[in-house]
Amino acid sequence: MVVIDRKFTILSHTGKTMHTLLVILGGFALLALCLLIARLTGASRRKAVLVFLPLWLIGAAINMWVGVSTAGYSVADEFPIFLVIFAVPAVVAGLLYRKLR
């Protein structure tokens, strides 16, 4: 098990701390959904990526709020996790946006 801090764990044998990884995967699923909707409606895939970014920012912020309000973590504890959760799919979306030029 590789522990970065008490909440953010890359690998876990118990599965309790895989939440962060699952949320990041949820971000990739949202990106794929935005791209699928763009394809089905004939919209630009670049616009789909631009729609994804604020949606994902809201989703990552909701995850942070849940961690603060129900899990008992402070904002200072949750903010680095928020940054990772938002940044990983957002960077991939940004690279995809550049590639779709």
The confidence score (pLDDT) of residue 61 equals 97
Q: pLDDT tens digits, residue range 14-57?
A: 444 588 999 999 999 999 999 999 999 999 999 999 999 999 99
Q: What is the distance between the alpha carbons of residues 38 and 48, in angstroms, rounded to a whole number?
A: 6
The confidence score (pLDDT) of residue 5 equals 52
* Number of independent structural domains in the chain: 1
Say if 7 falls within a structural domain: no
Say if 88 falls within a structural domain: yes
Say if 69 falls within a structural domain: yes
Residue range(s) defining the domain that contains residue 36: 27-99
Work out the mean pLDDT of the chain and round it to a whole number. Answer: 87
Angle at which helix 75-99 crosses helix 19-41, to 10 degrees, equals: 30
Say if 14 falls within a structural domain: no
Whether 59 shows a pLDDT value over 80: the answer reads yes
Neighbours of 29 (CB within 10 A): 11
Say if 11 falls within a structural domain: no
Neighbours of 36 (CB within 10 A): 11
Residue 80: which pLDDT band, with cuts at 50, 70 and 90?
A: very high
